[in-house]
Amino acid sequence: MKSIVRSIVLSCILFAHAVCAEPSAQAETRVYKKAGDRELRLHIEKPADWKATDKRPAIVFFFGGGWVGGTPEQFRPQSEYFAGRGIVGIRVEYRTIPKGEKGPPLVCCADAKSAMRYVRGHAAELGVDPARIAAAGGSAGGHLAAFTALVPGLDDPADDLKISCKPDALLLFNPVFNNGPGQWGHERVGERFREFSPAHNIAKGAPPTIVFLGDSDKLIGVPVLREYEAAMKAAGARCDAHVYPGAGHGFFNKDPHKSQTIEESDKFLVSLGWLKAAQAK
């Protein structure tokens, strides 16, 4: 009964976000990086009782779009929900691959690491605990989140490499985290796939991870997830895999799966000690 009540409450919260055109009263925008004449921004949702002196957990969200499109609005409902739970939600603008280019997502990867470094480097201003910063993302954004955690190199030369870009936890929504032969993204990265593919860089010390996938996803098969899960566990890392029957790519931002995946993400963060268990009303 409690789980049903929680799902109803989540659905109501998400519906309210969907119909509200104005940004949250606690929203803030910051420039984390300049790339040429373009300013790249973070869209930040803060808890109502936020103070700069806080040391709260944070989740940094990367949107999906095949590395060629997308918008930070994709994860606004999730960011606002977790701000309501006491977490600082941060949605990242990053450069996408320019139209017509067939090569790898170099700018995407560099910007993702820059964003993570900015959040950790400015944790004191953001009211964030630098040891409790998660990365999250969907599809190509899931790749970028996992990339910041697992894959060395491809940093922006202007970054301060003394600041770690590695998140302390991962929340991945149908992520394209295997870019090896025969998998999504391989046509862009080619023989350089090991420089980009999180699945080929899993090692001891990988952060605790939760992954959501539909079993009707035409881009990422369930066997890809199971191989990733096995590799994580072989490295001594936690990997919670959730597979949803009949769900396709991008399922996580459509009801009822939106509220379901947020609820599971909430439970995951509770299990890490980042949140207190929500009380059903």
Alpha-carbon gap, residue 72 to 65, rounded angstroms? 11
- Indicate which CATH number applies to the domain containing 185: 3.40.50.1820
Residue 279 lies in a domain: no
For β-strands 239-244 and 38-45, DSSP reports them as: unpaired
Within a 13 Å sphere around the CA of 53, how many CA atoms are in the beta-carbon half? Answer: 0
Residue 276 lies in a domain: no
Q: What is the pLDDT of residues 57-115, one digit of tens each?
A: 999 999 999 999 999 999 999 999 999 999 999 999 999 999 899 999 999 999 999 99
Alpha-carbon gap, residue 25 to 40, rounded angstroms? 21
Residue 280 lies in a domain: no
Rounded alpha-carbon distances, angstroms, from residue 263 to 16, 33, 53, 87, 171: 17, 32, 28, 14, 12
pLDDT mean over 231-235: 98
Q: What is the pLDDT of residues 20-47, one digit of tens each?
A: 333 444 789 999 999 999 999 999 999 9
Domain that holds residue 11: 2-271
Cβ count within 10 A of residue 48: 10
Helix H segments across the chain? 2-19, 76-84, 106-121, 123-126, 140-150, 186-189, 222-234, 257-271
Tokens of 189: 């990265």
For β-strands 38-45 and 88-92, DSSP reports them as: antiparallel
Number of domains in the chain: 1
pTM: 0.91
Residue 278 lies in a domain: no
Could you tell me which of 93, 95, 67, 91 has the C-alpha nearest to residue 77? 91
Could you tell me which of 163, 157, 148, 161 has the C-alpha nearest to residue 113? 148
Look at residue 13 and tell me whether its pLDDT is greater than 80: no
